[in-house]
Amino acid sequence: MVHTDEKHPEVAAAMSGSGGGAVTFESVLAELAERRARFQQQRHVPADFIALLKQVGIYRSATPARFGGEPLPPAEFLDRIERISVVDGSTGWVASFGSALIYLAALPLETQAELYRAGPDLVFAGGLFPVQPAPPTERGFRVDGRWKFASGCVGADILGVGIPGDASTGGKPRTALLHPDQVEIVREWDVVGMRGTGSFDLVVRDLEVPREWTFIRGGRPTVDEPLYRYPTIAYAAQVLAVVGAGVARAALDHAERVGAGYAGVTGAPKSADRAYYRTGVAEAEAALRSARAWFYEISDEVWATVLAGDEATHEHNAHLRLAAAHLARTASQVVDRLVEISGTAPIHTAHPLRALQGDALVPKQHAFLGPAMFDAAGAVLMGLPATTPGFR
């Protein structure tokens, strides 16, 4: 499978606005270009735009085929999220959780059938941390507490909150599922990047959740289809890392576009006439494309292994996690470098690189993509146990 890194034609179309007609991936990107500033201001992607993402298949891309879904190979889904993120990182972040239905494949089949009864386009959002105590009851668990970082919760059809695991979960936490009317959304989200993700807090008060409406995060799936044999937590890390790649691509496109025409207020040569600017842009291009190529290469390799009926190995998982963490770090470094070589212009809060820098920071800081992942991956590749809980 080939993944090109050329500037996507639909992004150029998106920048010029959208017209009428059938909903296509390109028309959704065009509408996103028109509305993204509003999403940042209101701090979430609204339900009507989530509905458009449903129409172009984002929220059936990880629904089991047995329930009407159209599961995509991971690299194909990642490419779509990257393309959305070039236009707006926040919307790419929210759309990336279309992959989170792989978690739900660990639910009992009867529960999944109920979830997908109205159709395969299901939006799941979760505030999984901090894991809150949930005393067991005769039927399930008594859930009470407050959870953070529930990205996309405003437009979700089903919500999840993190509760402890037990001896039966192998140390992994559980997630309890709830309907939106059972949860209070507290709109606290004041951040420098991904402002439009609506990563609000979830509050649940003294509610019993049946055991069959909980699942082990990263637990063994009850669905036997190829996508659910792909490493679950690694995939969850990949979909976030590729958002950073899209943001960095947008920053590079901006730097290359304005470099040829921008002259500083001091009367100095325009940016493209300065050797350090040309060099900085070229180095950033090389770094992003290299990290991105490895990221997609290892995804295709592991997917081919799964399709052949073989199990992904610990080493496969380590490479997936490492490539994702490396891409997130590289993307953030690329945007930082472009800010550095752009003179005084990015000190203004309205400068495009300023918002992109904040957006690129968020994936790199995520627990799935932080510095500990390099240590854990290195340990596995040298035949040692992973140094980070839940690495696989």
pLDDT digits (tens, 9 = 90+) for 78-118: 999 999 999 999 999 999 999 999 999 999 999 999 999 99
**How is 85-137 classified by DSSP, letter by letter?**
HHH-HHHHHHHHGGGGHHHHTTS-HHHHHHHTTT-S---EEEE-BS-----B-
* pLDDT for 318: 98
Q: Is the pLDDT of residue 6 over 80?
A: no
Strand 184-186's sheet: what is its strand order? Answer: 140-150, 200-210, 184-186
On whether the pTM is more than 0.85, the answer is yes
Give the tens place of pLDDT for each residue, 323-358.
999 999 999 999 999 999 999 889 999 999 999 999
Across 61-65, 78-82, 236-240, 273-277, least confident range: 273-277
Q: Is the pLDDT of residue 10 over 60?
A: no
Instruction: Return mean pLDDT, the chain.
Output: 93
Give the tens place of pLDDT for each residue, 132-186.
999 999 999 999 999 999 999 999 999 999 999 988 888 789 999 999 999 999 9
* pLDDT for 201: 98
* % of the chain exceeding 90 in pLDDT: 85
**How is 161-210 classified by DSSP, letter by letter?**
EEE---GGGTTPPEEEEE-GGG-EEE-----SS-GGG--EEEEEEEEEEE
Side chain identity, residue 174: R
pLDDT-based confidence at residue 19 (cuts at 50, 70, 90)? very low
Across 1-10, 23-32, 44-53, 383-392, least confident range: 1-10
Give the tens place of pLDDT for each residue, 69-85.
999 999 999 999 999 99
Q: What is the dihedral of CA 121, 317, 303, 324, to 10 degrees?
A: 70
* pLDDT for 3: 53
* pLDDT for 17: 41
pLDDT-based confidence at residue 9 (cuts at 50, 70, 90)? very low
Residues facing residue 214 across a β-bridge: 176
Give the tens place of pLDDT for each residue, 261-290.
655 555 667 888 899 999 999 999 999 999
Bridge-based pairing state of the strands 200-210 and 140-150: antiparallel
3-state secondary structure of 71: coil
